């Protein structure tokens, strides 16, 4: 590192008098490095920008307690002899603008069921986004199929539709676009390729409640959509999930699959358990928690949207900070997280991890996005398993390894930084603190290196 000539001055200075000049009312103790004015970064022992708290998550509504204790006292805790799960399904289908909703134990079990429902079978291949939570591709393994990644577009954080066709083989039966962080994937282009190549589209909307594409809710644009209601989610219930679709026979099949194979609707009643299913049912208590949380979901979504738009406008003015770009047709993101890219060459080549630590030290919670999931050791474990060697010829697995190169996703993993959804429920002054802290780090990048 360059030798530093540091003259400490205890004077208070308007740090925003630097290149950006956006904020004039905030100040930090300053000193100079090589003649340049510096505010002391909190990571170097200076005062932090944000000293207060951030909104907690999840938020409990005591008004829901009576419904829950009433249900507990009846002993009707499972969906088979209670009405609450069915009530939730009706409300959620209405909220999504879908004909049907099936509640499940989790987002993972929703995806496993939906994949099986659209016909994914052992030895098939399923295309999937690589910039995602592990469950998006684990569910493909659970259906004994091979996940094949389609590279990401670093600007949108999403699967790049122009890269889909090259990954299709004669074994490919479905595609899982993941609306990661609630950002709408380019569904027109994805559906067009799927139609042309006869693939089913299973939307992983596990982070995308109330997000919209061309005015329609995410999760209702493919053949079927899946949601998660795990505790950190914008609609939380500890655990929980849902499948939505307008396809009645597919939803009957999913219902049977998630209920031990019991026949539902159009599923032929050839026996008490005509198909091979599992138990992925939601419990009554989850449905009651969800219905109480649904009372706030739209209001919260509107606050997140307004704050996200404010951050978009402010953060894009800071060199080296690039907020997500919405694809054509995206009408609303769900903001499970607020993502941006950090371009380290604008920050004195300081690695992203150090930038994140510096921002945390300023009192702003944030973290890196997903890692390079295509390099997850889980793949070699699965590809080398006895079952996979039986299901796929060695030549296909060799080709999978050779083609497992995702430059767009590598770049994205290198640059992505995210704020949690609860941060976006803060006030305008919380948002200003985020902008001030990043501006402060940018202005003082010369002293950012550890």
Ligand X SMILES: Cc1ncc(COP(=O)(O)O)c(C=O)c1O
Copy the structure tokens of residue 162: 């122009």
Rounded to an integer, what distance in angstroms lies between the CA atom of residue 37 and that of residue 48?
18
Copy the structure tokens of residue 119: 């016909």
Q: Specify the DSSP class assigned to residue 162.
A: G
Copy the structure tokens of residue 337: 């997280």
| Interacting span for ligand X (CB under 6 A) from 52-60, 84-92, 105-113, 319-327 | 105-113
In the bound complex, what is the minimum distance in angstroms from residue 108's beta carbon to ligand X?
3
If you write DSSP's letter for every residue of 121-145 in order, what string do you get?
-TT-EEEE-SSS-THHHHHHHHTT-
In the bound complex, what is the minimum distance in angstroms from residue 207's beta carbon to ligand X?
5
Q: Which of 206, 254, 257, 315: binder of ligand X (CB under 6 A)? A: 206
Rounded to an integer, what distance in angstroms lies between the CA atom of residue 6 and that of residue 212?
51
| Interacting span for ligand X (CB under 6 A) from 32-40, 80-88, 203-211, 350-358 | 203-211
Is 178 an interacting residue with respect to ligand X (CB under 6 A)? yes
Q: Which is closer to ligand X, CB of 88 or CB of 442?
A: 88
Q: Which is closer to ligand X, CB of 107 or CB of 261?
A: 107
In the bound complex, what is the minimum distance in angstroms from residue 450's beta carbon to ligand X?
32
Q: Which of 124, 151, 203, 204: binder of ligand X (CB under 6 A)? A: 204
Please classify residue 419 by burial: count the beta carbons closer than 10 Å to its beta carbon, then call 0-12 exposed, 13-18 middle and 19+ buried. Answer: buried
In the bound complex, what is the minimum distance in angstroms from residue 182's beta carbon to ligand X?
10
Q: How far is CA 289 from CA 180, 230, 237, 293, in A?
A: 24, 12, 6, 6
In the bound complex, what is the minimum distance in angstroms from residue 103's beta carbon to ligand X?
12
Give the three-state DSSP class for 436.
Answer: helix
In the bound complex, what is the minimum distance in angstroms from residue 228's beta carbon to ligand X?
3
Binding residues for ligand X, total number by CB under 6 A:
14
Rounded to an integer, what distance in angstroms lies between the CA atom of residue 174 and that of residue 158?
17
Q: Which is closer to ligand X, CB of 241 or CB of 261?
A: 241
The interface mask with ligand X, positions 225-254, x = CB under 6 A, is: ---x-x----------x-------------
Residue in the shown chain whose Cβ atom is closest to ligand X: 107
Residues 175-208 as b or e (16 or more Cβ within 10 Å = b): bbbbbbbbbbbbbebbbebbeeeebbbbbbbbbb
Q: Go through the chain and tell me how many residues it has.
A: 450
Is 289 an interacting residue with respect to ligand X (CB under 6 A)? no
| Intra-chain end-to-end CA distance of the chain, in Å | 9
Q: Which is closer to ligand X, CB of 189 or CB of 233?
A: 233
Q: Which is closer to ligand X, CB of 139 or CB of 431?
A: 139
Torsion (CA) 160, 165, 166, 172 in degrees, nearest 10: 110
In the bound complex, what is the minimum distance in angstroms from residue 165's beta carbon to ligand X?
24
Q: Which of residues 106-165 bind ligand X (CB under 6 A)?
A: 106-108, 132-133, 135-136
In the bound complex, what is the minimum distance in angstroms from residue 105's beta carbon to ligand X?
8
Q: Which is closer to ligand X, CB of 142 or CB of 391?
A: 142
Q: Which residue has the tokens 């103790």?
A: 29
Rounded to an integer, what distance in angstroms lies between the CA atom of residue 179 and that of residue 206?
8
Residues of the shown chain interacting with ligand X in the complex, contacts defined by CB under 6 A: 106-108, 132-133, 135-136, 178, 204, 206-207, 228, 230, 241
């Amino acid at each position: 590192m360059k030798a530093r000539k540091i003259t400490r001055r205890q004077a208070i200075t308007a740090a925003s008098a630097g290149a950006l000049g956006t904020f004039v009312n905030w100040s930090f103790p300053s000193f100079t490095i090589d003649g340049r004015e510096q505010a002391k970064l909190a990571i170097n022992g200076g005062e932090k920008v944000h000293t207060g708290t951030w909104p907690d998550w999840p938020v409990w509504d005591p008004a829901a307690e009576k419904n829950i204790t009433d249900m507990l006292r009846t002993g009707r805790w499972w969906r088979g002899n209670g009405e609450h799960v069915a009530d939730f399904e009706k409300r959620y289908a209405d909220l999504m603008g879908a004909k049907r909703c099936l509640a499940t134990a989790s987002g993972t079990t929703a995806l496993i069921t939906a994949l099986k429902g659209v016909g994914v079978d052992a030895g098939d291949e399923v295309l999937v986004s690589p910039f995602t939570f592990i469950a998006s591709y684990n569910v493909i393994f659970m259906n004994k199929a091979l996940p094949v990644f389609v590279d990401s577009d670093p600007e949108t954080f999403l699967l790049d539709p122009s890269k889909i066709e090259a990954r299709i083989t004669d074994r490919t039966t479905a595609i899982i676009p993941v609306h990661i962080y609630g950002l709408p994937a380019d569904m027109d282009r994805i559906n067009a390729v799927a139609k042309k190549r006869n693939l089913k589209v299973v939307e992983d909307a596990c982070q995308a409640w109330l997000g919209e594409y061309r005015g329609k809710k995410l999760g209702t644009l493919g053949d079927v959509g899946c949601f998660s209601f795990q505790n950190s989610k914008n609609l939380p219930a500890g655990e929980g999930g849902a499948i939505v679709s307008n396809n009645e026979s597919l939803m009957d099949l999913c219902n049977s699959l998630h209920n031990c194979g019991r026949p539902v609707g159009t599923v032929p009643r050839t026996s008490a358990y005509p198909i091979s299913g599992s138990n992925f049912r939601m419990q009554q208590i989850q449905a009651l928690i969800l219905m109480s949380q649904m009372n706030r979901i739209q209001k919260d979504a509107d606050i997140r949207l307004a704050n996200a738009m404010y951050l978009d406008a402010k953060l894009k003015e800071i060199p080296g900070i690039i907020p997500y770009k919405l694809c054509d047709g995206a009408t609303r993101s769900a903001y499970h997280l607020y993502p941006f890219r950090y371009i380290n060459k604008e920050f004195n080549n300081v690695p992203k991890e150090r930038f994140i630590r510096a921002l945390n030290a300023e009192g702003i919670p944030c973290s890196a996005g997903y890692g390079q999931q295509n390099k997850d050791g889980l793949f070699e474990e699965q590809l080398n398993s006895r079952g996979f060697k039986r299901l796929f010829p060695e030549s296909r697995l060799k080709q999978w390894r050779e083609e497992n190169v995702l430059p767009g996703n590598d770049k994205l993993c290198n640059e992505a930084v995210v704020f949690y959804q609860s941060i976006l429920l803060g006030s305008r002054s919380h948002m200003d603190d985020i902008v001030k802290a990043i501006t402060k780090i940018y202005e003082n990048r010369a002293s950012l290196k550890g």
